[in-house]
Amino acid sequence: MLSFLLEHGANPDPKMPNSSYSPLRTAVGKGHLQIARLLLEFNAKSNHHFRIPEWEATQRPTALALAAKSGHLEIMDLLIDRGARAGEGIEGKRYSAITSAAKAGQESAVARLLLMYDSRDIGTLKYANEAVKDEHDGIKSMIEERIWQLVEESRGAVVAGQ
C-alpha cells in the first residue's frame, strides 16, 4: 500500500497535524528496514531532526541517531548510504548519532559510527565519551582509542606539513 501511494505522488515527508512523527521516523524507530528504504527511495529527508515527545524537549535527533540508539545497524547503513551525516545532531555534539548510541550502550552501532569520524570530530567524540554510563566500559574504551588515533593522525599531519 505504501509503495502504491508513493508511486502515485504521496509525500514521503507529510506534515502530520498534532504529531511529531513522520513515516521515516516511525519506520526507523520500529526497525522497519524495507519501509525506511522505500521512503528514502522517494526522497524522505534522512537528516531531518525529529521531535520526540518522550525525549527532552530540546532533543531533536536525526533518523541516524534514532537508528543508532536502537541498534538498527542495517537501517544505519541505509541512512549513511543515502547521505545521513554521523556528526550531525541538534545542538551539535549533544544529540549526535554517536552520543545516542553510546548512551544507549549500543556497542556495534558505536563501532560502526566511529569509522565515520575524523579529526574535526574530536569534540563530538569527547562529548559522547563523557555521556557514556559507567556500565559501558567497552564503549568508553572504543571511543577513547578512536580519539587518540585521531589526535595522533592530526599531529602527524602537522609534522608532515612543516
CATH of residue 97's domain is: 1.25.40.20
Q: What is the spatial distance between Cα 66 and Cα 74, in angstroms, rounded to a whole number?
A: 13
Lowest average pLDDT, out of 14-18, 47-51, 64-68, 127-131, goes to 47-51
Q: Domain of residue 56: give its range.
A: 2-161
Interval 21-41: pLDDT, tens? 778 888 998 999 999 999 999
This prediction's pTM: 0.79
Instruction: With CA atoms as reference, report the closest residue to 75 among 12, 39, 32, 21.
Output: 32
Interval 43-59: pLDDT, tens? 887 765 555 545 454 45
Residue predicted with more confidence, 6 or 159: 6
Residue predicted with more confidence, 61 or 8: 8
Would you state the pLDDT for residue 12? 78
Q: What is the spatial distance between Cα 148 and Cα 90, in angstroms, rounded to a whole number?
A: 25
CB neighbour list of residue 91: distance below 8 Å, 6 or more residues apart: 58
How many Cβ atoms sit within 10 Å of the Cβ of residue 115?
A: 9
Instruction: With CA atoms as reference, report the closest residue to 125 among 154, 105, 157, 151.
Output: 151
Interval 72-125: pLDDT, tens? 999 999 998 888 777 655 455 556 888 889 989 999 999 999 988 887 788 888
Band of the pLDDT at 16, cuts 50, 70, 90?
low
Half-sphere exposure of 159 (CA within 13 A, CB side): 6
Residue 17, pLDDT > 70, answer no
Question: How many independent structural domains does the chain possess?
Answer: 1
- HEC profile of 76-145: HHHHHHCCCCCCCCCCHHHHCHHHHHHHHCCHHHHHHHHCCCCHHHHHHHHHHHHHCCCCCHHHHHHHHH
Would you state the pLDDT for residue 38? 93
Set of cell numbers at residue 162? 612543516
